Amino acid sequence: MTTADITVIRQDSATRGRYMVELAPGVEAEMTYRKTPAGVMSIDHTGVPSEFGGRGIAAKLVNAAIADARAEGFKIEPLCSYVEAQFRRHPEWADLRA
């Protein structure tokens, strides 16, 4: 699997949601979030099974949230350490940080 083969799906409810990638039958990577009353996406967890690590899957999950934030006009609160690290690596995302 290459990063070009990865399809990120957003599953959204009124107060919570997740971005996910199906890696194999019954095996998923995910990034979970909750929505604050102020309309902020508070990302609290990113998980990729170890056997799929190092392939850029977690970065694809974060990039999907960044694209949605730009398109939909919301801010992101990076509670997850991985997402926090990505915000530090990408100063061009500063305008999306809550």
- Kindly report, residue by residue over 57-86, the tens digit of the pLDDT: 999 999 999 999 999 999 999 999 999 999
- Please tell me the total count of domains within the chain: 1
- Output the pLDDT for position 6: 85
- Output the pLDDT for position 1: 57
Can you give the residue range of the structural domain that contains 29? 3-96
- Output the pLDDT for position 2: 60
d(CA 55, CA 45): 18
CATH number of domain containing 89: 3.40.630.30
d(CA 27, CA 37): 32
